Amino acid sequence: MSEPKSSDSALRAMTDDGAFRVVTVRTTDTVRRMLAAQSVWGPAAERLGELATGAILVRETMAPTHRLQGLLRTEDGKHRWVADSHPDGGTRGLLTRLDAEAAPSIAGGMLEVVRTLYNGELHRGVIEVPSSGDMSEALMAYLQSSEQVASMLSVACVLGDDHVVAAGGYLVQLLPEVGRGPLAIMAERLRDFQRIGELLAKTDAATSPLMDELLYGMPFTLLEEHPLEWKCRCSTVRVMSSLATLPRADLNELIDAGKPIEMSCDFCGEKYTVSPNQLMGLLDQS
């Protein structure tokens, strides 16, 4: 059965006074497929949905044309999440649990963001997750301390009994021109939008109604909307090139064993089989 097309998108706007740049995203379908690929549910799955949504929002704000990864781990290191967001709108996610019984609370954990800069170098920022254990607060803290971006942001992932009800969020970036008046109005307005799960569930997380709510009464201009989806990036070529980085001695050992190697993608579960002949091909190249 083929997957229904994703209805997710990212919408950007700017207020006409030049004070705020706003991104709203619907990530319901992205998160649905991500959780299915990872076979996870419950609080740890909600954090994955939130992290993926946050990674998309931060990428859309800081560098829409470049890749961004969000890495999160609990203080005890027993839960680790990865969200990998790309400029084509495709995002994939990964949850690693060393102990499925451990609580997936992220309070006091670490949030790391790695993104590619225009010159190809990596920008890396790490913060400690605030004691509230709230993903939105962690993302705002990251933006403030690592990117010097003042923002108001909220992400949410609402799970039903057996389906993703809604996932999405927004990021309001305060531009340097922002005056005290508009800032006070916006801060007051967004107090009602700190927890947006309920609103997203009611509106199917659609980007345009959320934008209208956030910017109610403020003249603004819509800039762009583009589609988002869950997408893995694995391929036979990538599997082979990762094997090619193994030391020659290790490759020889695998070849001598004479059996095909079975590998599966951590993000999507796709299985790859590499034959001894293919491994020998790697030796020829190196």
Residues that bind Zn ion (CB under 5 A): 232, 234, 265, 267-268, 270
CA distance 38 to 47: 13
Least distance in Å: CB of 59 to Zn ion? 20
Q: Which is nearer to Zn ion, 40 or 155 (CB)?
A: 40
Q: CA-based Rg of the chain, rounded to a whole angstrom?
A: 21
Q: Which is nearer to Zn ion, 269 or 281 (CB)?
A: 269
CA distance 201 to 157: 9
Least distance in Å: CB of 69 to Zn ion? 15
- Dihedral over Cα of 223, 224, 225, 230: its sign: negative
Q: Which is nearer to Zn ion, 228 or 268 (CB)?
A: 268
| Strand, coil or helix: 192 | helix
Least distance in Å: CB of 84 to Zn ion? 10
Count of CB atoms situated within 10 Å of the CB of 216: 8
Q: Which is nearer to Zn ion, 52 or 143 (CB)?
A: 52
What are the beta bridge partners of residue 24? Answer: 11, 170
Least distance in Å: CB of 234 to Zn ion? 3
Q: Which is nearer to Zn ion, 137 or 266 (CB)?
A: 266
Least distance in Å: CB of 238 to Zn ion? 9
The burial class, CB within 10 Å (0-12 / 13-18 / 19+), for 112 is middle
Residues in the chain: 286
Least distance in Å: CB of 233 to Zn ion? 7
Where do we find the tokens 């549910």? 41
Tell me the H-state helices in the chain: 28-38, 43-62, 135-147, 180-190, 197-203, 207-214, 236-243, 248-257, 276-285
Least distance in Å: CB of 270 to Zn ion? 5
Least distance in Å: CB of 235 to Zn ion? 8
Pairing mode, if any, of strands 261-264 and 229-230?
Answer: unpaired
Structure tokens at 87: 């400029």
Q: Which is nearer to Zn ion, 132 or 273 (CB)?
A: 273
Q: Which is nearer to Zn ion, 144 or 236 (CB)?
A: 236
Q: Which is nearer to Zn ion, 90 or 130 (CB)?
A: 90
The burial class, CB within 10 Å (0-12 / 13-18 / 19+), for 140 is buried
Pick the closest to residue 83 from 73, 95, 92 (CA basis): 92
